Amino acid sequence: MDFTQSFIKSKNPCANGFRWYLRHHRNGADYQQVLDGLVAAGRVDDACWLLDKVGPAHTVLELDALDCDALVFAGSVQVRGGIDVQGKLRAGGSIRCEGSLRAGGEIVAGDDIAATGGIRAGAGVRCAGSLVAGWHTRAEGGIAAGSLKIAGALDCAGSLDVAGVAWVQGDLAVDGDCRARALRVRGDVQAAGLLQTREGLLCDGAASSGSHVDAGLGIKCGGDLVAAGAIRAGEGIEAGGEIRAGAGYGVYAGLCVQGEEWDTSARVTARARPARLLSGFWTGDRVHAGELRHAH
């Protein structure tokens, strides 16, 4: 793809950016050459703007290791070792490495992000595909992904938004809202904001929310289930410890189940009856924490 003056002008660049292009690529240039030039000039945001305007390429950057200040690549990035970027890392396609993935800034991919080691980002992490890490992962900002699988703990300093299934082997801590189609966590779940799934919520440890807990289907926890707001489930709710909603709020099970079927599909089980159980069928404590802890 040749970047002529007329092509760049058709994308409505800012005046400063267009002047930069005329100074450095007046006679035209290759797409990636322009991106590399912008990054080298410290104009990383302009490179990201251009990638947004033009879109991804089918090219692949293959390296043994990646260590640089910043990278904006139109295609996919495949690294046989680890990735260590001081600033922003962005790819129009996927980002994959066979080691740890670290960036001082944001990590963004138009497809998957996958690392056999852990992932650490100094800002947010975004990808349209799956986010996969083989070890503990930390983002100093929000995380947005099509699906998520972390073979360790996940610590997110912003909100977590997963369009599909989110699976975390260790503890999950989210400083904002936590949303997923379905959520499976082997450890504890802590969300400072809303904890919401369109399908089920399953964790082996305790689950807590600084706002409401909402599940389109059932909720099952090995420990306590606690919210500052309401606790709502389309089907049943089970906890190995207590179920406690916030002051003035209630616990609602079976919101998507007919009342005649509450005894089979909207069962509520915990160490003690929730103080404000407003819908659902209370079963007592017949499901023990040990059974919940090993549920799949």
What is the overall mean pLDDT for the chain?
Answer: 90
Answer whether residue 261 shows pLDDT above 50. Answer: yes
Answer whether residue 1 shows pLDDT above 80. Answer: no
- CA distances to 228, 249, 272 from 211, rounded to whole Å, are 5, 11, 22
Angle between helices 31-40 and 44-54 (to 10 degrees): 160
- 180 strand-pairing partners: 162, 197
Predicted local confidence at residue 31, as pLDDT: 82
CA 194 – CA 228 distance, rounded (Å): 9
Predicted local confidence at residue 289, as pLDDT: 39
pLDDT in tens, 117-160: 999 999 999 999 999 999 999 999 999 999 999 999 999 999 99
Answer whether residue 287 shows pLDDT above 90. Answer: no
Predicted local confidence at residue 20, as pLDDT: 55
Regarding predicted confidence, which is higher, 6 or 295? 6
Going by C-beta distance under 8 Å and a sequence separation of 6 or more, which residues neighbour residue 295?
202, 204, 220, 222
Answer whether residue 288 shows pLDDT above 60. Answer: no
Predicted local confidence at residue 34, as pLDDT: 87
pLDDT in tens, 37-92: 899 999 899 999 999 988 999 999 999 999 999 999 999 999 999 999 999 999 99
Regarding predicted confidence, which is higher, 288 or 266? 266
Worst-scoring range by mean pLDDT, 27-31, 180-184, 201-205, 276-280? 27-31
Worst-scoring range by mean pLDDT, 12-16, 155-159, 170-174, 272-276? 12-16
Going by C-beta distance under 8 Å and a sequence separation of 6 or more, which residues neighbour residue 220?
200, 201, 202, 203, 237, 238, 239, 292, 295
Question: Whole-structure pTM over 0.85, yes or no?
Answer: yes
What does the DSSP assignment read for 178-246? EEEEEEEESS-EEESS-EEESS-EEESS-EEESS-EEESS-EEESS-EEESS-EEESS-EEESS-EEPP
DSSP letter at 20 equals H
Regarding predicted confidence, which is higher, 190 or 23? 190
Predicted local confidence at residue 291, as pLDDT: 39
- 144 strand-pairing partners: 126, 161
Answer whether residue 27 shows pLDDT above 60. Answer: no
pLDDT in tens, 212-222: 999 999 999 99
Regarding predicted confidence, which is higher, 190 or 295? 190
**pLDDT band at 185; cut points 50, 70, 90:** very high
**pLDDT band at 21; cut points 50, 70, 90:** low
Going by C-beta distance under 8 Å and a sequence separation of 6 or more, which residues neighbour residue 291?
none
Worst-scoring range by mean pLDDT, 102-106, 163-167, 176-180, 292-296? 292-296
